[in-house]
A and B are shown apart, each in its own frame.
Chain A
């Protein structure tokens, strides 16, 4: 059997990679998100609050602190006013300017963030009539006052949520994975679990789409296909406060071509360049999301 020979040939994989693969653990990653909270680079997409903003002193240098009427910076107090802030974690040790509406590349952050396409077939599409797409959202965290629960919903495509229960060391011990239009998490659940949210969906499989995605002649052809898929997708994050009132933000997605230098200098993303990929010799298409203003 030919594939059997290929399976045996996997013994050719370097010893270093075999050893490191076995030792790899998400524990390190999760700990860095949870425990190194104050030093981990992160991005505050937006702060919404009907009252006093939930200002985290010193957490984000680029955030404008609240000021009172005399222009004096306010200090953290026991603020009982409803508020929430949604933060998006970037790569560790990489701080990115934080402003509402700032475009955030999807590939930053943990090793699990990625996006891509696959032909139908197998478990998900027996007839192979579609092309699936998948976009991981970077790790998010929510902070605020009086928050009862947090929900995410999407107007098209679907959300896939993997909800890992982690132990005290941050190691996943159990988890669920489900696809739906809306998900609601209790505040504690969202804070304590390791939650991965992705946008998934599919488009009809035809020659145009197949060529544009898998064998594009130009990078623009690929870019336009990705942009078409993302167009109109709105992810709404809504918090419900203990008093029943709500706040929300909308996140939209888009794609752009960037050079590898731009990705590295602006976002700290170091791309693995395939020398044989002539279309992507100097740059590549990256997916971004931003707060809808």
Chain B
């Protein structure tokens, strides 16, 4: 079923909307949740919450790209579940790796959490990724949005693991400079 048709089902408050969403995007959501949670029970719970949130958000929201819309929802729910669990065991280690990597962009002396609102930070990230070339944008998104493993990214883009590591390192450095420029860092 086309995305527009699925969205129409939501607008008509037809419960088949969730069924069709699951058929079309179930695997996609499971992949995102799985990258973050790595626990079947949590993943299942995450998907249930995702569909519930979809139901509550559409309407009034009419997503322009349904895949990205649901991807953001499932990711946020999965990250919140990870945060609640607070154990790297349940997170499969990937989120811990991502947090360590992103820590490089935020030196300890910043008081960022009290300075910039979450939405402002999201806008900085949006602009940063927009300005990257296509390949770098996809690799950055694979890692930090989809929480994909370096090996998976390497295979996906036909590159070596080392190559991906080098590119991500360069991008983090670039992001750090960008955040500093936006007044995000004390440095």
Contacts and interface: CB of A to CB of B under 8 A. Distances in A.
- Complex A-B, nearest 9 residue pairs according to Cβ-Cβ distance, in ascending order: A12-B122, A15-B68, A272-B133, A3-B102, A12-B126, A9-B121, A118-B169, A18-B68, A15-B65
Given A119-B169, A175-B155, A198 B68 contact: no
Q: Which of B122, B146, B159, B165: most chain A Cβ within 10 A?
A: B159
B161 A177 contact: yes
B68 A16 contact: yes
Given A22-B67, A123-B165, A162-B160, A8 B79 contact: yes
Interface in A218-233: none
B112 A2 contact: yes
A142 B32 CA distance: 39
B156 A24 contact: yes
Interface in B119-159: 119, 121-126, 129-135, 137-138, 141-142, 144-146, 154-159
Contacts of A119: 169
A102 interface: no
B124 A12 contact: yes
A81 B154 CA distance: 39
Contacts of B142: 21
Contacts of A136: 159-160, 163
Main secondary structure on chain A at its contact with chain B? Answer: mixed
A8 B154 contact: no
A281 interface: no
Contact of B138 (A5, A6, A21, A132): A21
Contacts of B126: 12-14
B105 A196 contact: no
Contacts of B118: 5, 8-9
Interface string B10-30: 000000000000000000100
A124 B135 CA distance: 24
B69 A177 contact: no
A236 B18 CA distance: 58
Interface in B43-68: 63-65, 67-68
Contact of A10 (B131, B132, B145, B170): B145
A156 B122 CA distance: 44
A18 B158 contact: no
A293 interface: no
A198 B167 CA distance: 14
A251 interface: no
A13 B166 contact: no
23 contacts: A5-B112, A5-B113, A8-B76, A8-B79, A12-B119, A12-B124, A13-B126, A14-B130, A16-B65, A17-B129, A17-B138, A18-B72, A19-B68, A19-B71, A22-B146, A26-B156, A111-B135, A112-B157, A124-B165, A136-B163, A164-B158, A175-B155, A196-B158
